[in-house]
Amino acid sequence: MQHLLLLHGALGAKNQFLPLGGKLNSSFIIHTINFSGHGGAALPAQPLSIPLFAEEVLHYMSTNNITQASIFGYSMGGYVAMYLAKQHAEKVTKIITLASKFYWDEAIAAREIKMLDADTLETKVPAFAHQLAARHAPTDWKLLLQETAIMMTALGKNNTLQIEDYASIDNNCLLMLGDRDKMVGLDETINVYKKLPNAQMCVLPGTPHPFEQVNTDLLAFMIERFLQ
């Protein structure tokens, strides 16, 4: 069976993929990792970044003797997968992304950072704040929010992948987006899709951005169909 890496999004963790992995593990060898600062992993001395997360994937693959794998990346995880394919094409077979934000500028970064204020989260969405605290313990979730904001600010000033970069990613790719996603725009997804030489695109019905609200049966079907 082929190896399939599942990469989580910003403020996410590998345990979010337990239901999805359970639906795919009869067809693939499933791998999940926690990026630095996420899911209990310690925050690194250096700033969080897409290249850092990509290096962590490469380290995991090397440690587990995985020479090549397909990757499913949710949100930020999809961006990491694309960066990996750009920098280390030989390590990646096929790529599937869902709800990945590919376009960043300073205005977008500023808008996203506003949603990372810990005091606001504790006041307006305490259940989510509690979820973040539990998900990332013993790492301080408030510190993770700050480090994520710094990463987004850097992306806004200098997007790690420019639109022209996608033209050189030859891997077979499937870009998926929920029709109710309020964070990722359809236009930016289409723009990347059009640049990729070997890409398909899919819009999932009745699907908002949060991974917990994605229909995992439908998602697993689309992943398996594409990777066959």
Beta carbons within 10 angstroms of residue 146's beta carbon: 16
Contact criterion met (CB below 8 Å) for 55 and 29: no
* Digit-coded pLDDT (tens) for 88-123: 999 999 999 999 999 999 999 999 999 899 999 999
Q: Would you state the pLDDT for residue 228?
A: 87
* Digit-coded pLDDT (tens) for 12-60: 999 999 999 999 999 999 999 999 999 999 999 999 999 999 999 999 9
Task: Indicate if the pLDDT at residue 202 is higher than 90.
Answer: yes
Q: Would you state the pLDDT for residue 165?
A: 97
Q: Would you state the pLDDT for residue 12?
A: 97
Rg (CA), the chain: 17
Distance in angstroms (rounded) separating the CA atoms of residues 173 and 151: 25
- Amino acid type, 86: K
Spatial CA neighbour of 71 closest among 2, 1, 166, 13? 2
Q: Would you state the pLDDT for residue 18?
A: 96
Query: Does the domain at residues 3-102+161-227 carry the CATH identifier 3.40.390.30?
Result: no
* Digit-coded pLDDT (tens) for 126-160: 999 999 999 999 999 999 999 999 999 999 999 99
- pTM for this predicted structure: 0.96
Q: What are phi and psi of 180, to 5 degrees?
A: -115, 20
Contact criterion met (CB below 8 Å) for 39 and 13: yes
**The token pair that represents 142 in the structure block:** 């408030």
Q: Would you state the pLDDT for residue 209?
A: 96
Q: Would you state the pLDDT for residue 189?
A: 96
- Amino acid type, 166: Y
Could you tell me the residue ranges of all domains in the chain?
3-102+161-227
**Placement of tokens 């999809």 in the chain:** 78
Stretch 81-92: mean pLDDT? 96
Beta carbons within 10 angstroms of residue 47's beta carbon: 12
Give the DSSP H or E segment for 132.
helix 126-136
Q: Would you state the pLDDT for residue 112?
A: 92
Q: How far is CA 184 from CA 30, 83, 126, 140, 142, in A?
A: 26, 18, 24, 27, 24
